[in-house]
Copies of this chain bind each other. A is one copy, B any other.
Amino acid sequence: MTDAALIVIGNEILSGRTRDASLPYIGRRCDELGISLLETRIVPDLEEAIVEAVNTCRARYRHVFTTGGIGPTHDDITTRSIAAAFGVPVVRHPGAEARLREYYGDGRLNEARLRMAEIPRGAELIDNPVSGAPGFRMENVYVMAGVPVIMKAMFESIAGRLEGGPPLLSRTVVTRHAESRLAPGLAAIQERFPAVSIGSYPFFRMGSMGVRVVLRGTDATLLDQAEREVREMLGCLDRERP
* Cα-based distance from A202 to B115 in the complex (angstroms): 16
A residues contacting the other copy or chain, number (CB 8 A): 62
Contacts of A13 on B, CB cut-off 8 Å?
23
> In the complex this chain forms, how many copies of it are found?
2
- Among A5-59, those with CB < 8 Å from B are 10-20, 23-28, 30-31, 37-45, 49
Q: Are A74 and B198 in contact (CB under 8 A)?
A: yes
User: For the complex, is A173 an interface residue (Cβ under 8 Å from B)?
Assistant: no
Contacts of A31 on B, CB cut-off 8 Å?
15-16
Beyond A44-B38, A181-B112, whether A187 also contacts B25 by CB under 8 A is: no
User: For the complex, is A197 an interface residue (Cβ under 8 Å from B)?
Assistant: yes
Q: Are A26 and B18 in contact (CB under 8 A)?
A: no
Q: Are B17 and A19 in contact (CB under 8 A)?
A: no
User: For the complex, is A106 an interface residue (Cβ under 8 Å from B)?
Assistant: no
Chain B residue nearest in CB terms to A38: B44
